[in-house]
Amino acid sequence: MESKWVLKPEGNFEMVERIEKELNVSKKIANMLVQRGMETFDEAKAFFRPELDHLHDPYLMKDMDKAIARLNRALEKNEKILVYGDYDVDGTTSVALVYSFIKEIHSNIDYYIPDRYSEGYGISFKGIDFADENDFDLVIALDCGIKAVEKIEYANKKGVDFVICDHHNPGENIPQAVAVLDPKRKDCAYPYKELSGCGVGFKLLQA
């Protein structure tokens, strides 16, 4: 199958000229900025020099309040927390980010990466059994879990709580976890829908 590149039309000439002068950049750079919807000096400045207060409110994400309430309870009661993530790049960076952050304030924590061959992608029954057998109270699942309806039912029966942080498209039903963070949920008001799994994990930490 052949792929065809479709180029965006040139930006509005007057806007390109204004951005070129205001930012003192080349016409090509100014045109690319306008093509991407940046038509003022302030918009271009925010693009080139982003600041933390430009980030969207993490509580715009569905279930964020539930996720934070459960995490705070685990911290206050010194519960065992397991950070669970897929073995791909997004999963491992998600685990590294969330584990290293929480580890600074809570020592009763470990991480789990499922075996690629015996468990495959996503939350596994083996991983849930590991959490149960090692007395973990809370599992933070990163870059996976949005379609793990049966797995979460299994975890609930074992008394293992899950907070899911995923970015994949949901299925027909949302797992009955304590909280399910996913900007692609139809009932989620978070404005940017293309976060990575690590990005969703970051929003949890930001909150």
- Where do the structural domains in the chain lie, given as residue ranges? 13-52, 58-206
CA distance 180 to 30: 40
Residue 116 has a pLDDT of 82
Residue 1 has a pLDDT of 65
Residue 119 has a pLDDT of 74
Query: What pTM did the predictor assign?
Result: 0.85
Amino acid in the structure at residue 81 = I
Q: Are 193 and 89 in contact (CB under 8 A)?
A: no
Q: If you average pLDDT over residues 33-62, what whole number do you get?
A: 89
Query: 67: pLDDT confidence band, cut at 50, 70 and 90?
Result: very high
101 HSE (CA, 13 A, CB side): 17
Share of the chain above pLDDT 70, in %: 100
Is residue 187 over pLDDT 70?
A: yes
Residue 117 has a pLDDT of 78
Is residue 38 over pLDDT 90?
A: no
Q: Could you tell me the two tokens for 165?
A: 């942080």
Is residue 155 over pLDDT 90?
A: yes
Q: Which of 188, 199, 196 is closest to 66 using CA atoms? A: 188
More confident residue, 74 or 54: 74
> What DSSP string runs through the chain?
------PPPPPPHHHHHHHHHHHT--HHHHHHHHHTT--SHHHHHHHHS--GGGSPPGGGSTTHHHHHHHHHHHHHTT--EEEEE-SSHHHHHHHHHHHHHHHTT-SSEEEE---TTTT-SS--HHHHHHHHHTT-SEEEEES--TT-HHHHHHHHHHT-EEEEE--SPP-SS----SEEE-TTSTT---S-----HHHHHHHHHH-
Q: Which CATH number fits domain 58-206: 3.40.50.80, 2.60.40.1510, 3.30.1330.10, 3.90.1640.30?
A: 3.90.1640.30
Q: If you average pLDDT over residues 84-110, what whole number do you get?
A: 95
Is residue 75 over pLDDT 90?
A: yes
Amino acid in the structure at residue 62 = K
Residue 154 has a pLDDT of 97
